[in-house]
Structure 1
Amino acid sequence: MFAALHTRNYRLWASGQIVSLIGTWMQRVAQDWLVLTLSGGNGFAVGIVMALQFGPTLILSVWGGVLADRYDKRKLLMITQAFAAACGLVLGVLDVGNVVELWHVYVIAFILGCSSAIDAPVRQSFTIEMVGEKTLANAIALNSMTFNMARIIGPAISGVLITFVGTGWVFLINAVSFAAVFGALVAMRAKDLYSVERAPRAKGQVRAGFAYVWGRPDLRVLLATIFMVSTFGLNFPLSLAVLARNSFGSGADAYGLLSTTLAVGTLLGATLAARRATAPRLRLFIGAVLGFGIFELLVGLMPNYILVAVLLIPTGALNLTFSTSAMNILQMSVPSDMRGRVMGIYMLCFLGGTPIGNPVLGWLADVVDPRAPLIVGGVVSVASGLFAAVYLLRHNNLRVRVSRQATGRRLPVLDVLQIQP
């Protein structure tokens, strides 16, 4: 279950990540709460901040993938971590000094979004260089476990700190937490990293990445499904904050607890993924998307706080299952000199729809009902999973007919939802 931790470089990375990610989740909760406070509880304002924070992904994530394919990923990560720490520091100083305004949060969210858009594909494609291909699936699952352990701890701590000392100190603590992952990157032994083929500097590399993905029907439908689910279904930072404040009349501690119960589910899903001995298939991905959509819809229909918190646990587990299986399929089925760009396209699909979805969902929460983002997200996720299943079945049937015409014989039944490089 912990095979990847036998590698020294990965142990350093995981230990630094848990500290830094706790700070990151503390800041996410504090940022949402600060925006709600400054805007008088306006869900649309939260959507705008998220759009600014994730909007740069639309342009920069694929270029981040190009950088990852060309250059030393460890050095690139040091640069992006330094920018993220600076954003937390500036926002914390403004908030503690009681001079913070809503437009300050907008600007800092945008700068942080630019850094994160470059960081994400570099970070994801760096995993294989730390552990090698043999334990890559385990390392990806452990990355998710680390992320979701922080997702449990961070919001809970943040909710308490916001109540007693305010949001500003949360931002400052997050800025300090980046020292852990930065130190881990410095302490790594470069000679122990697994060598991978790097892409040469050339024109048209972004276009080549998109052409490669488009030429793979399995990747094409997987990424399209990720885009739809993440744009409309993964709206929990917005929907849970608005739900806690406007539907249940609760404070930051209640929002933090809802975020924590969601993270308990994702940690459970990550644990199961780490124990899985075989590489995931598209059938697992699609099944998890359908299950996630159904449970998110149920969360939106629950009449009280306790039932919402309970149902967030299986919702989180299914969320983690479909995202981890997608990442495993992508990383294990593409050539090393294309991995950064493919992961950049993945991050584009995973986060790039946020500037579209969150303002719309925030508006729905304001004018229709605070539960509307969850209900809409659940319906869209179920529809996307069904479309992906039908598309793959039809594509497979076409491929079988073509193969029969070429060979003149009947082929055995194919596993239509298994990855086909």
Structure 2
Amino acid sequence: MDMFRTLRHRPFRLLWTSALLIQLAHWLAVVAFQWEVANRTNNNALLLGILYFFTTAPFLLFSLPAGVLADTRDRRRLLLAVLCCAVVLDSLCILLAGLDAMPTIMVTALGFLAGCVVTVVSPTNQALIAGTVATADLASAIPLQAAGLNLARILGPAVAGPLLMLAGSTLAFTVCCLAAIAAVLLAWRLPAPPRPAFPPVRARMHRQVLAGIAHVRQRPPAAAALAITAITSVFGSSYQAQLPVVGARISDDGNTAFLVLATLGGVGSLFGIFSVARRRGRMSLPAAAKQLTALGIVVALVGMTTSAPLVALLIIAAGGLTLSIMTSISSLLQQVIDDTQRGRVMSLYILCWGGLLPFGGLAMGVLSQATDPGWSFAIFGGVTAVAGLASTFRTGPGRTRLG
């Protein structure tokens, strides 16, 4: 497959592997955090929603400053610094888990710090991609990078399951720490990028953020793509915060069912990314809008059934649709923006994607606690489907296509 030809570039191989490892550590830790809260609170939907909110809140708070840093600092050094912070955080998790000192409030705080690390790592990694491959390979590199990140989403829960069930969270966090250390060592071997002619960060950060927003407006269809990203984040992906509840509803062994569903979602995500790679860089916003409609229908159906096999299939479909949408839009944005604005624009993408997740996850948790989880899935899925239909009609067939 053309997507894999980018691995012939050594700098990209190093960046890809480092990103895979740090994301593996992150997703393993996220599952461990959810496991801790679910066990300590008997699968309390509201507290799981609060955990999800604080784990993803850094995307909202810090994505734009992180993008400015990626455009105004040596990206390799910035990446190394944040990866070292991940090692320190994972070491703290090992200590607290070993002492059994992880009440819900502590887990929530650790989840917030883990989110801060990924918030800075994400735009920095995205901004580094273009400098590690030939321009002709950029459209192939982006889906492969996304495939690696979602391979981590699969491996994280898959590794977390046996570790948590057999040895608890201490061993799980130990594996997280080892993966983060390996990511640091690989990033250290990245060649130093040429010093870019970027303005210094002291030159009014808010103006640099506004410059990134203005750049998006000047490069259609970037603004419309970001709007679809935001809808997918708030309404289409919030179901992930309630997977422990879904697992408990469809199986007597809720913990095992949750881990299986999390893994299946990652498998579906990988399928979605490969579907993007098969298009070889041809991106269409109407196609993404139609997939958004389908995602809404799938999410609503998850709330309507208690059949474990059907829920498993729906979770695979939801993961595939979500990541197909997000990878298409990421690839589109990377092809229409300038390198001097790459960190800021990709931080806007991360803001719309991860930064808005806290609101959707918390709202779904509150709604699930107040009514019934099935109703919350139906409502969020319905809003997603309607938004997808509206976006389809607005963009129109054949418009806003690249490649």
- Compute the TM-score of the two structures, normalised by the length of structure 1: 0.88
* Contact kept in structure 1, 2:7 and 2:13, CA below 8 Å: yes
Match of 1:67 in 2: 69
Give the 5 Å matches for 1:37-56: 37-56=39-58
* Contact kept in structure 2, 1:52 and 1:106, CA below 8 Å: yes
- CA RMSD in angstroms, aligned pairs only: 2.1
Query: CA, structure 1 residues 320+20, in 2 after alignment: closer, same or farther (shift >3 Å)?
Result: same
Match of 2:199 in 1: 200
1:305 aligns with 2:308: yes
Shift, 1:185, TM fit: 0.8
Match of 2:175 in 1: 173
Match of 2:333 in 1: 330
**Counterpart Cα distance in 1 of 2:312 and 2:5:** 33
* Contact kept in structure 2, 1:231 and 1:351, CA below 8 Å: no
Query: CA, structure 1 residues 305+198, in 2 after alignment: closer, same or farther (shift >3 Å)?
Result: farther
Residue 100 of structure 1: SS of its match in structure 2?
A: coil
Partner deviation per Cα, 1:159-207 (whole Å, 9 max, x = no partner)? 12211111222122111211121111111233xx5x5854312331111
Match of 1:258 in 2: 261
Query: CA, structure 1 residues 65+19, in 2 after alignment: closer, same or farther (shift >3 Å)?
Result: closer
**More off after superposition, 67-76 vs 271-280:** 271-280
Which is greater in Rg? 1
**Unmatched 5+ residue regions in structure 1?**
394-413
* Contact kept in structure 1, 2:230 and 2:352, CA below 8 Å: yes
Query: CA, structure 1 residues 184+98, in 2 after alignment: closer, same or farther (shift >3 Å)?
Result: same
Match of 1:121 in 2: 123
**More off after superposition, 260-269 vs 240-249:** 240-249
**Counterpart Cα distance in 2 of 1:356 and 1:314:** 23
Match of 1:396 in 2: none
Give the 5 Å matches for 1:102-117: 102-117=104-119
Runs (4+) of structure 1 moved beyond 6 Å? none
1:10 aligns with 2:12: yes
Shift, 1:255, TM fit: 1.0
Match of 1:401 in 2: none
**Counterpart Cα distance in 2 of 1:342 and 1:196:** 20
The one-letter code matched in structure 2 to 1:317 is G
1:242 aligns with 2:245: yes
**Counterpart Cα distance in 2 of 1:8 and 1:208:** 33
The one-letter code matched in structure 2 to 1:21 is Q
How many residue pairs get aligned? The number is: 397
Q: 2:99 aligns with which of 94, 97, 100?
A: 97
**Counterpart Cα distance in 1 of 2:229 and 2:282:** 19
Residue 306 of structure 2: SS of its match in structure 1?
A: coil
Match of 2:135 in 1: 133
1:278 aligns with 2:281: yes
**Counterpart Cα distance in 2 of 1:187 and 1:311:** 41
Q: What is the percentage of aligned positions where both structures have the same residue?
A: 30
**More off after superposition, 336-345 vs 18-27:** 18-27
Partner deviation per Cα, 1:245-281 (whole Å, 9 max, x = no partner)? 2453323222111111111111112223233323312
1:145 aligns with 2:128: no
**Counterpart Cα distance in 2 of 1:17 and 1:222:** 24
The one-letter code matched in structure 1 to 2:93 is L
Q: 1:384 aligns with which of 383, 387, 392?
A: 387
**More off after superposition, 272-281 vs 356-365:** 272-281
**Unmatched 5+ residue regions in structure 2?**
none
* Contact kept in structure 2, 1:89 and 1:172, CA below 8 Å: yes
Shift, 1:290, TM fit: 2.0
Give the 5 Å matches for 1:150-161: 150-161=152-163
**More off after superposition, 54-63 vs 370-379:** 370-379
Query: CA, structure 1 residues 276+252, in 2 after alignment: closer, same or farther (shift >3 Å)?
Result: same
Residue 27 of structure 2: SS of its match in structure 1?
A: helix
**Counterpart Cα distance in 1 of 2:33 and 2:376:** 19
